[in-house]
Structure 1
Amino acid sequence: MSIVLAYSGGLDTSVAVHWLKERYQTEIIAYCANLGQIEDLDAVSRRAIAAGATEVIVEDVRDRFLHDYAMPALAAGAAYEGKYLLAAPLSRPLIAERMVRIAHDRGASAVAHGATGKGNDQVRFYTSVRALAPELDILAPVIDWEMTTRGSEIAYADLHGIDVGISKTSPYSIDTNIWGTSIECGDLDLIDQAPPSDAWQITTAPAEAPDRATTITIEFEVGVPVALNGQRLGLTALVSELSETAAANGVGRTEILESRIVGFKSRGVYEAPAATVLLAARADLEALVLDRETLHHKRSIADKYAELVYYGYWFTDLRAAFDAYCERLAHRVTGVVTIELYKGSARCVGRTSLKYGRYSSALADYEESDTFRHEAGAGFAYCWALPLTEGVFAR
């Protein structure tokens, strides 16, 4: 029996490599998905081998992650509890899918992850693997082993000569990818205090951002961003460049007291510069190209879609049905949006869609070019108010 372990290079998964190998007396295949994280993946790979992994697979899945996971969530307008743009939860089903494929290819009988018992990720990995390959065992060493504190894990690592990188010195638990960064633990658990300045990993403090606004344009084709400031770019390059620009302007910081899957609340501190700008830009373009009833109904699915992602229910018929719905509407989401970035804010200041725009200045203005039939307004208002005037409202 061999085990495929989702490996990040941090404290938990580095200890897990050695612990799993020792416990099950088997080969450990460490899988590290290159999602655009800030860590040196060459060093991560070396750390896994040093910890006892037989093989390390580092795979660049950034483009697939953005196209197949981040873009559908963007299309749905998903933000968990109205704030969290789900960078980490969106990556978990992709990692699970790749681990299952590797397990099948290598003849492994189990997959493993480094999530804790009270964390969200243990649910996300479990549900994703069960949906894809219920025959595989799913191991959770951090839940099963006797170590109960971060200090006891570090002591175990020291005892066995396991390199855990910066995990020993950092007070925070950090997860990064191209779509965003999650920061937890340490002084962030003091929810009555502002996050410490050193908690933020990629964004400039809004007060320290440039004193002049940065104006950018984003072009969308069928709902997908294809050009930044008039330059056509692949999705990975566009998101990377946009993230740098937005982060330099202090855009993308979120702090939320979120409701975890397992039932309690925790503080989440997140940075998602590109995702924040793209969500605002796409919503603004939709306001131009979708009719009122479609626009309002589409916005009603955003919370449910975010819950499905957060809860680990990616591989469900409901999520697939939402994607089909959003894909049907996306053919109209083509145009250009102008965004002003300034000290933490991303404000849409202009938009155009030559083919699908529903705005008509001849109907909207009050100048001589006005073509609206004002006399029709009285009859419309009469009919609109009828449900309120025929004894329905109890006085």
Structure 2
Amino acid sequence: MRSPLIRSFSQLDSLDPDRPVVTLFSGGLDSSYLLLRLRRMGIREVHAVSVDIGEDESSTYKRQVAEALGATIHILDRRAEFADRYVAPAIAAQAVYLGIHPVSSTLSRPLIAHSAVELARVLGAQAVLHTANRSQNTLRRLNGALALLGYEGRFGSPYDLDPVTRDDKLVELRAAGIDLLAGRIVSGDSNLWCREFESGILDDPELHEVPEEMYTWSRPIALPGDTDTLTVTFEHGLPVALDGDPLPLTGLIDRLNRRVGAYGLGRYSGLEHLDHGEKVLEIREMPAAWLLLSSYRHIESACLDAELIREKRHLEQVWTREALEGRWFGELRLATQVFVDACAARTTGSVTWRLRTGGADTRSITAGSPLYLRDREAWEERAISTESAPFARAAEAVLATV
């Protein structure tokens, strides 16, 4: 039986030109070049899918490029679904890669794959193509999701075994009347949860610097000495309000990215492993994630027994590993989610923060059913009294018999 996995451009020759093909489309160089190649092959019906989860690239720009390359564009608004069904579970699972940075594309890839498969099945498409290459973790995450979703057609990235140089892609696109991205100095990935940069000027971990103008949320604009006090409220593990104002998670994240980022908070840098163990540098800005993950842990610590939290910390890394390796729809990730959800059901409360340039401090941690003490001396007196009571009663009984 022929493998369903597509790994090179030469394998595209086996596609039927009269049957639809679905491609994931970001509007970037790789996905635009793939559309060009499919057009040259004579594929009559190419559907470019752009899943809107709050990325930087505008829908208008994507539409112009896709249509210029003869593809039908599908822009699917999945921002609310991304926040509620992917980011929210990651907050409860404290999904941080080896203690270095919160995960991001790990959360978006399964949603993108699921959206593409839904459309492909409606269209009766013969293939779902994407453009991840071997130095991108997106390759195993998309392929893993597409496989676990049981997509019936062929799928994969022709760049896996058949890379094309950046210059060659630019030259061929220009010749086709598409002139784009020539000045981009890094590869970027963005959504409402994270803005991430890699490659280009960031290739070398031993010598790298991100130009300040590339940051959007975490560029400090607060003046020296400025502070900001805010309160985040969680109900059953879900962030639901900011300063007492109920908000959908999309709106809450958007506000926090800007308020927390104004103090230069929420930047991450770190190495992440590829399929065979090699590691690449990635830079992120995630101000809302920085504060929400910290807030969750504070409330969780106020509500849950210490031994339960210790066990959860282990399972958090199992959850993160399974999602990271492209097994979001796999049994083990789903099983650990049940444990995480059980803990989240008891995690209700709020945290008040005082933001300052370069840092933040808690001012209040309040839980619905707290385990914390508010008056240690009174507790000690009660505890001693309770512990001493049986001995006092025993002594009274002995004296009564004398």
The answer to whether the aligner puts 1:184 opposite 2:198 as a matched pair is yes
- Aligned-partner Cα distance in 2 for 1:260–1:182: 16
Please identify, of 126-135 and 285-294, the stretch whose mean Cα deviation from structure 2 is larger: 126-135
So what's the TM-score if we normalise by structure 2?
Answer: 0.86
- Aligned-partner Cα distance in 1 for 2:36–2:225: 50
The residue type paired with residue 282 of structure 1 is Y
**2:96 aligns to what SS in structure 1?**
coil
Hey, what does 1:371 align to over in structure 2? Answer: 382
Please identify, of 20-29 and 62-71, the stretch whose mean Cα deviation from structure 2 is larger: 20-29
Residue pair 2:318, 2:333 contacting (<8 A) in 1 also = no
2:113 to 96, 105, 112: 96
Shift of 1:132: 0.9
Shift of 1:66: 0.8
Shift of 1:347: 3.5
Hey, what does 2:189 align to over in structure 1? Answer: 175
**1:366 aligns to what SS in structure 2?**
helix
The residue type paired with residue 172 of structure 2 is Y
The residue type paired with residue 39 of structure 1 is E
Q: Relative to structure 1, is the Cα distance of residues 146 and 76 closer, same or farther in structure 2, using a 3 angstrom cutoff? A: closer
Q: Relative to structure 1, is the Cα distance of residues 144 and 349 closer, same or farther in structure 2, using a 3 angstrom cutoff? A: same
Q: Relative to structure 1, is the Cα distance of residues 359 and 269 closer, same or farther in structure 2, using a 3 angstrom cutoff? A: same
- Aligned-partner Cα distance in 2 for 1:337–1:105: 45
The answer to whether the aligner puts 1:301 opposite 2:315 as a matched pair is yes
- Aligned-partner Cα distance in 2 for 1:212–1:141: 51
* Cα displacement string for residues 76-98 of structure 1 (whole angstroms, at most 9, x for unaligned residues): 11101212212112100000001
Residue pair 2:129, 2:157 contacting (<8 A) in 1 also = yes
Q: Is there any run of 5+ residues in structure 2 with no aligned partner, and where?
A: 1-18, 389-402
Q: Relative to structure 1, is the Cα distance of residues 328 and 237 closer, same or farther in structure 2, using a 3 angstrom cutoff? A: same
The answer to whether the aligner puts 1:275 opposite 2:289 as a matched pair is yes
Q: Relative to structure 1, is the Cα distance of residues 144 and 22 closer, same or farther in structure 2, using a 3 angstrom cutoff? A: farther
Q: Relative to structure 1, is the Cα distance of residues 313 and 14 closer, same or farther in structure 2, using a 3 angstrom cutoff? A: same
Hey, what does 1:287 align to over in structure 2? Answer: 301
The residue type paired with residue 333 of structure 1 is T
- Aligned-partner Cα distance in 2 for 1:284–1:222: 14
The residue type paired with residue 384 of structure 2 is R
Shift of 1:37: 1.0
* Cα displacement string for residues 134-180 of structure 1 (whole angstroms, at most 9, x for unaligned residues): 42201413335562x2112111211222243xx21110101100010
- Aligned-partner Cα distance in 1 for 2:98–2:153: 33
Over the matched positions of the two proteins, sequence identity in percent amounts to: 31
1:11 to 29, 37, 43: 29
2:144 to 127, 130, 145: 127
Q: Relative to structure 1, is the Cα distance of residues 158 and 279 closer, same or farther in structure 2, using a 3 angstrom cutoff? A: same
For these two proteins, the number of residue pairs brought into alignment is 370
The answer to whether the aligner puts 1:237 opposite 2:251 as a matched pair is yes
Hey, what does 1:86 align to over in structure 2? Answer: 103
2:371 to 351, 358, 364: 358
Hey, what does 2:49 align to over in structure 1? Answer: 31
* Cα displacement string for residues 53-80 of structure 1 (whole angstroms, at most 9, x for unaligned residues): 1x11111101100111111111111101
Show the 5 A alignment for 1:325-340: 325-340=339-354
Q: Relative to structure 1, is the Cα distance of residues 290 and 22 closer, same or farther in structure 2, using a 3 angstrom cutoff? A: same
Residue pair 1:252, 1:272 contacting (<8 A) in 2 also = yes
**1:142 aligns to what SS in structure 2?**
coil
Show the 5 A alignment for 1:18-97: 18-23=36-41, 25-53=43-71, 55-97=72-114
Shift of 1:118: 2.6
Post-superposition, which runs of at least 4 consecutive aligned residues in structure 1 deviate over 4 A? Answer: 205-210, 374-377
The answer to whether the aligner puts 1:343 opposite 2:357 as a matched pair is yes
Shift of 1:260: 2.2
Residue pair 2:117, 2:146 contacting (<8 A) in 1 also = yes
So what's the TM-score if we normalise by structure 1?
Answer: 0.88
Shift of 1:345: 2.8
**2:155 aligns to what SS in structure 1?**
strand
**1:143 aligns to what SS in structure 2?**
coil
Shift of 1:99: 0.5
Cα root mean square deviation, aligned: 2.2
The answer to whether the aligner puts 1:152 opposite 2:168 as a matched pair is yes
